[in-house]
């Protein structure tokens, strides 16, 4: 899940009506072409904050900030603020980085090793409201060795640590003067990235312009706007009218642009999955037989074919079926007879209205999905239809995240997760009991000591065989004792005006649209000649 808030469809439609008279980037809305150096992108949501200290950009691809390292198109690590990949010593417990010369923040002040130290120490401070802190659990200390060298000392060898140093670096001389949780830096960021934020109208748009102090040179796209449009249909309409240059769209709407010669569709594979959280505190969802029956009753292939128009894969766990860490053999076919058998054996007997009951309790619960997200709505409705055939009543309701969040401990949610780079990145925060209810971490409050032990083993070992065995154990445990019903892994679709060269997509995480998409490297785009 994401810490973003997605506004209701009604609010989105209102915002669209307010802004449709003129495109956020200055367009007329009548289909006239924008200058190649200006781009307007439609996205479904906005961040709560633009401060890396609170989690923004932690996986890279922020246009305002840079990390010590970055990822290329193939997700391979490459130097960013550092001159090279880290020097690793002491059996994987010490990582040393040398900073690039001449880097300045967007306010003209130089980057120093102390800025890196400040960033990591603040993120690790328990007083900072960063729910991604556990991702840096291995860090024991971070120190500056002169102005241009940073040394990390780890508590234990952590195999994927280098990939965690894509964390954006903030200026101590600005952020250090404020409360990291409430300071103005959260909405008025200063970074070393290719762009600076010039305007943020909450719920409407964010506007960026080229950073005159950027160490990587001036980008050809000198300004861009992210128009926040929660409703998928409104986003597609504004793209079609020429009010937007590009947008993230669900498969059914992206398909309507296939024959448009002036636009191009980009499809990105992802780790992004849709799953139903089944809270252990729920009267019905807390019953393992209910969870296992739902796992058998759901028709994943039909969801891929009918909801995603084939742009995705069935999900049998948090890792995609083509991931090298995926455990072969855990695939579960749609098996309604098995679901009914599981419920019969557990004492859930057919009752009135076709809904099963046990000890006077009906097999009924509410499933929330974020309003305006048509793909999640369709998943929720298909899930409820499959559950009904097994005798389980799932009442589907759309709501804002402000309504959903207080209910996550006891009510089911159509959620989205998925992190790239290493299995630890996604599995630990999804499943470890120590993170139950920590923001959007472990939303199902899943508590399985064997899984906790395996997750800890996978995190603390550098031996690929040990790690492989640990993640095999986790994936098999989720079959026997599911805390979620995993449904689909989604391919992300983007439609853009065909006016630039250099556009590519990456293998993407759940966090897409705003930071990921063909605009992940917008600073490298060039106008078509």
| Domain containing residue 406: CATH number | 3.10.105.10
Q: Residue 442 has what pLDDT?
A: 93
List of residues 6+ apart from 86 with CB closer than 8 A: 68, 69, 95, 96, 97, 152, 162, 165
Q: Given this model, what pLDDT does residue 35 score?
A: 55
Q: What is the pLDDT of residue 366?
A: 98
3-state secondary structure of 11: helix
Quick one: 68 and 151 in the same domain? yes
Give domain status of residue 359, yes or no: yes
What is the predicted pLDDT for the residue at 36?
64
Contact present, 270 and 509 (Cβ < 8 Å): yes
Q: Are residues 336 and 422 in the same domain?
A: yes
If you search the block for the tokens 């605009």, which residue do you land on? 519
pTM of the model: 0.85
Q: Does 11 score more than 60 pLDDT?
A: no
Percent of the chain with pLDDT over 70: 93
Mean pLDDT of 279-285: 93
Residue 3 confidence (pLDDT) above 90: no
Q: Is residue 418, in this structure, part of any structural domain at all?
A: yes
Does 20 score more than 50 pLDDT? no
Contact 116, 152 (CB under 8 A): no
Mean pLDDT in residue range 200-222: 96
User: Which pLDDT belongs to residue 515?
Assistant: 82
d(CA 211, CA 218): 8
CA separation, residue 264 to residues 28, 52, 505, 515 (Å): 21, 32, 13, 19
Dist CA 264 CA 442 (whole Å): 37
Same domain, 221 and 316: no
Residues 259 and 277 in one domain: no
**Does the residue 192 lie in any domain?**
no
Residues 381 and 364 in one domain: yes
Q: Nearest-CA neighbor of 140 among 81, 178, 90, 84?
A: 90
pLDDT at 439: 86
pLDDT at 5 over 70: no
Residues 213-242 have a mean pLDDT of 95
Say what the pLDDT of residue 1 is. 37
Tell me if 138 is assigned to some domain: yes
- Number of structural domains the chain divides into: 3
Which residues form the domain of 41?
9-46+202-268+493-527
Residue 292 lies in a domain: yes
- Any domain includes 65: yes
- Co-location of 245 and 291 in the same domain: no
Task: Evaluate whether residue 426 is within a structural domain.
Answer: yes
Closest by CA position to 494, among listed 503, 482, 486, 484: 503
> Residue 529 has what pLDDT?
83
Query: What does the DSSP 8-state code read for residue 106?
Result: T
Let me know whether 503 and 432 are in one domain. no
61 has a pLDDT exceeding 80: yes
Residue 349 or residue 438, greater confidence: 349
Per-residue pLDDT tens over the stretch 395-445: 999 999 999 999 999 999 999 999 998 999 999 999 999 999 888 999 999
- Confidence band of 17 (pLDDT split at 50, 70, 90): very low
- The domain that holds 90 is classified in CATH as 3.90.76.10
**The predicted structure's pLDDT at residue 511:** 80
Do 39 and 68 belong to one domain? no
Report residue 153 as tokens.
Answer: 């000392």
The pLDDT confidence band at residue 18, using thresholds 50, 70 and 90, is very low
If asked whether residues 160 and 236 sit together in one domain, one would say no
Asked whether residue 311 falls in the same domain as residue 451, the answer is yes
8 A C-beta contact, residue 266 and residue 493: yes
- Nearest CA to 503 out of 260, 245, 322 is that of 245
CA-CA distance, 44 to 231, in Å (whole number)? 7
Task: Tell me what the pLDDT averaged over the chain comes to.
Answer: 91
Q: Are residues 374 and 464 in the same domain?
A: yes
Asked whether residue 1 is domain-assigned, the answer is: no
**75 and 90 share one domain:** yes
Q: What is the mean pLDDT of residues 11-26?
A: 35
Contact between 34 and 225 (Cβ < 8 Å): no
The rounded distance, in Å, linking the Cα atoms of 515 and 508 is 10
């Amino acid at each position: 899940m994401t810490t973003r808030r997605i506004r209701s469809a009604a609010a989105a439609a209102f915002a669209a009506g307010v802004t449709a008279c003129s495109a956020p980037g200055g367009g007329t809305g009548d289909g006239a072409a924008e200058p190649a150096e200006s781009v307007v992108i439609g996205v479904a949501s906005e961040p709560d904050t633009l401060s890396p200290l609170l989690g923004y950009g932690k996986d890279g691809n922020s246009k305002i900030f840079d990390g010590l390292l970055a990822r290329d198109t193939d997700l391979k690590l490459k130097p960013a603020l550092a001159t090279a990949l880290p020097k690793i010593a002491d059996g994987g417990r010490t990582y040393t980085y040398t900073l690039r010369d001449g880097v300045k923040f967007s306010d003209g002040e130089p980057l120093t090793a102390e800025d890196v130290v400040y960033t990591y120490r603040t993120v690790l401070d328990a007083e900072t409201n960063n729910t991604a802190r556990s991702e840096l659990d291995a860090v024991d200390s971070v120190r500056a060795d002169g102005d241009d060298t940073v040394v990390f000392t780890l508590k234990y060898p952590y195999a994927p640590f280098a990939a965690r140093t894509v964390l954006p670096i903030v200026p101590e001389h600005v952020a250090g003067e404020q409360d990291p949780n409430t300071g103005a830096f959260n909405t008025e960021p200063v970074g070393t990235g290719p762009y600076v934020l010039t305007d943020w109208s909450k719920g409407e748009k964010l506007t960026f312009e080229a950073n005159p102090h950027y160490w990587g040179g001036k980008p050809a796209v000198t300004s861009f706007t992210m128009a926040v449009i929660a409703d998928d249909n409104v986003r597609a309409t504004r793209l079609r009218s020429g009010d937007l240059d590009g947008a993230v769209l669900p498969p059914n709407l992206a398909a309507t642009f296939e024959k448009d010669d002036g636009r191009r569709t980009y499809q990105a594979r992802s780790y992004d999955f849709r799953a139903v959280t089944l809270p252990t505190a729920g009267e019905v969802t807390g019953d393992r037989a209910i969870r296992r029956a739902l796992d058998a009753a759901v028709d994943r292939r039909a969801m891929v074919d009918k909801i995603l128009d084939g742009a995705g894969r069935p999900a049998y766990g948090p890792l995609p079926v083509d991931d090298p860490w995926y455990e072969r053999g855990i695939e579960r076919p749609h098996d309604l007879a098995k679901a009914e058998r599981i419920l019969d054996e557990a004492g859930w007997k057919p009752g009135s209205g076709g809904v099963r009951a046990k000890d006077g309790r009906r097999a009924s619960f509410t499933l929330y999905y974020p309003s305006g997200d048509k793909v999640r709505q369709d998943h929720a409705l298909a899930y409820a239809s499959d559950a009904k055939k097994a005798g389980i009543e799932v009442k589907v309701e759309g709501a804002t995240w402000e309504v959903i969040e207080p209910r996550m401990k006891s009510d089911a949610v159509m959620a989205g997760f998925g992190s790239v780079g290493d299995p630890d990145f996604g599995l630990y925060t999804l499943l470890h009991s120590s993170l139950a209810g920590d923001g959007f971490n472990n939303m199902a409050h899943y508590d399985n000591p064997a899984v906790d032990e395996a997750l800890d083993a996978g995190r603390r070992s550098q031996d690929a065989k040990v790690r492989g065995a640990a993640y095999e154990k986790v994936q098999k445990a989720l079959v026997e004792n599911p805390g979620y019903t995993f449904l689909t892994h989604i391919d992300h679709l983007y439609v853009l005006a065909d006016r630039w060269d250099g556009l590519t997509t990456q293998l993407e995480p759940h966090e897409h649209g705003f930071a990921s998409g063909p605009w992940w490297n917008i600073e490298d785009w060039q106008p078509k000649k």
